[in-house]
Chain A
C-alpha cells in the first residue's frame, strides 16, 4: 500500500468516503469551540465594541480563500507534471469552496466596514485583492464549465490556475502600491490595535474548523466528480447501482 495506490480514482473513491465523516466531525467540533471562544471568552473590544467579533469569521475566511487557491495550484501543477487525473479533480473540487470563502471574506468585510468606517465598501488593499481573487476563482470555474471534454477542461483549468498563482503576488503588490498612493483607508481589518492572545486563538481555531470543513466538502465533491467521469467503468457502475 503506497500513495500511488490511492492515486487511482477507483481506490480513492472509497477512501474518501471513509474520511469524510472524520473531517466533517472535526469541523463541527472545532467550529463549536471556535465560536464559543469568539462569542463568550474573547473580551469586548474597548474601541470597536461587539462588532469586532466578525473578524472571527472574516479573517479565517480570508486566510482560507488564499490558501485554497494555493492548494489548487499545487494539485494543478502535480496534475500537469505527472499526468494524474485525480489531482485535477481535487483542484476542481476545491474551487467552489475557495470561491465561497472569498465571498464570505468580502461579505463580512462589508459588514465590518459599515459600523467601523461608516460605509459598506472601502477600496482597502486587502478587500480589493480579495475581490480580484474572487474574479480569479470565477474565471477558473467558468472556463471549466465551458469545456465539455474532461481532459481539456482539466488541463486548461490547471494552466489558468498556475497563471493566476504566478500573478497573485504581483496583483497584491500592485493593489497595495495603488492603495498607498491614493491614500485610501489605512485601517486594516487584521491589524486591530490591541489583539489579545485569546482573539488570536479564536481565529486559529476557526481557521482550523474552516480547513476541516474544506477537506470534507471537497472530498465529497471529488467523489461526485469521480463517479461522473468514471461512470462507464465497472466499479463506478456497481457503486451507482448500489446507491440506487
Chain B
C-alpha cells in the first residue's frame, strides 16, 4: 500500500536520514524508533505529505502521494504532536469540524460512541478548554474511529495518556490493523500489539 524509496531528509544543516526504504501492506504496522531529535517526527511529516523530502518519494498504491493528493487525503489520517483541538469548541464540535474539513461524512451518534469508547462520555458537552491534556489526546484519537481512513500516521499517540488510556488506544490500533488497516507510529512507551505484523525501523543511526 505505502512504499518509500530512497528517502532522505535534512533539517537545517543536519542530515537526519538517507536511503530510507520500506514497504507496508494491509494489516501491517510500522514502528519508527530513534532518540529525541533523530528525525522521527520529520519522517512522519514527510509520510503524511506535510513536508517534502530532500530526496526520494513516498508512494501510495504505487503513485507518488503528490500525484494522488486528493485520494491520499481521504485514505490517510494523521495525528501529530499537537491535538488540533479548539479550546472554544466541545469535543463533539471538534470532531464534527475535523470530519467536515477532511471531506468526511459525520454521524453524531457514531461520534458520541467513539468518544465513549475512549472514556470521554462525561465531557461531551464541555468546551475543550476544560479538558486535561490526556483527555484532549483522547478526543483527537477518537477522531480516528470516524475518519474511515486506511492509513493511520500517529506521532507519539500515547503521550499524556494514563494506563487506561494506553490500553484503550492499544485496542484501537489493534482492531484497526486486524481489520486490514495500516498504521505508522512513533512511541517511546512500549506498545503491545500481539499477533500484528510489526516492522520497525530506526532513524538517525
Are B13 and A231 within 8 A (Cβ)?
yes
Interface residue SS majority, chain A: loop
A131 to B12, CA, bound (A): 35
A232 to B13, CA, bound (A): 7
Q: Which residues of B contact A231 (CB under 8 A)?
A: 13
Q: Which residues of B contact A149 (CB under 8 A)?
A: 12
A119 to B13, CA, bound (A): 52
Per-residue CB proximity of B3-42 to A under 8 Å, as 1/0?
Answer: 0000000001110000000000000000000000000000
A231 to B12, CA, bound (A): 12
Q: Which residues of A contact B12 (CB under 8 A)?
A: 149-150
Q: Which residues of A contact B13 (CB under 8 A)?
A: 229, 231-232
Per-residue CB proximity of A211-244 to B under 8 Å, as 1/0?
Answer: 0000000000000000001011000000000000
A149 to B14, CA, bound (A): 12
In this complex, what residue of A is CB-closest to B13?
A: A232
Per-residue CB proximity of A9-44 to B under 8 Å, as 1/0?
Answer: 000000000000000000000000000000000000
A150 to B13, CA, bound (A): 9
A235 to B90, CA, bound (A): 56
We find that the number of chain B residues with CB closer than 8 angstroms to chain A is 3
Q: Most B CB atoms within 10 A — which of A150, A229, A232? A: A232
A229 to B12, CA, bound (A): 9
Q: List 6 A-B contacts (CB under 8 A).
A: A149-B12, A150-B12, A229-B13, A231-B13, A232-B13, A232-B14
A203 to B14, CA, bound (A): 49
A150 to B11, CA, bound (A): 10
Q: Which residues of A contact B14 (CB under 8 A)?
A: 232
A232 to B10, CA, bound (A): 12
The distance from the CB of B10 to the nearest CB of chain A, in whole angstroms, is 9
Q: Which residues of chain B in 114-144 are interfacial with respect to chain A, using CB atoms and an 8 Å cutoff?
A: none
The distance from the CB of B170 to the nearest CB of chain A, in whole angstroms, is 36
A150 to B14, CA, bound (A): 12
Q: Which residues of B contact A229 (CB under 8 A)?
A: 13
The distance from the CB of B121 to the nearest CB of chain A, in whole angstroms, is 43
The distance from the CB of A149 to the nearest CB of chain B, in whole angstroms, is 7
Per-residue CB proximity of A140-172 to B under 8 Å, as 1/0?
Answer: 000000000110000000000000000000000
Q: Which residues of B contact A150 (CB under 8 A)?
A: 12
In this complex, what residue of A is CB-closest to B11?
A: A149
Q: Which 4 A-B pairs have the closest CB atoms?
A: A232-B13, A149-B12, A231-B13, A150-B12
A149 to B51, CA, bound (A): 14
In this complex, what residue of B is CB-closest to A233?
A: B13
The distance from the CB of A116 to the nearest CB of chain B, in whole angstroms, is 53
The distance from the CB of B39 to the nearest CB of chain A, in whole angstroms, is 15
A229 to B13, CA, bound (A): 8
The distance from the CB of B22 to the nearest CB of chain A, in whole angstroms, is 25
In this complex, what residue of A is CB-closest to B54?
A: A151
The distance from the CB of B103 to the nearest CB of chain A, in whole angstroms, is 27
In this complex, what residue of B is CB-closest to A232?
A: B13
A47 to B14, CA, bound (A): 64
The distance from the CB of A234 to the nearest CB of chain B, in whole angstroms, is 13
A150 to B12, CA, bound (A): 7
In this complex, what residue of A is CB-closest to B15?
A: A232
A84 to B175, CA, bound (A): 46
A48 to B14, CA, bound (A): 61
Q: Which residues of B contact A232 (CB under 8 A)?
A: 13-14
In this complex, what residue of A is CB-closest to B12?
A: A149
A164 to B14, CA, bound (A): 33
The distance from the CB of B201 to the nearest CB of chain A, in whole angstroms, is 25
The distance from the CB of A7 to the nearest CB of chain B, in whole angstroms, is 17
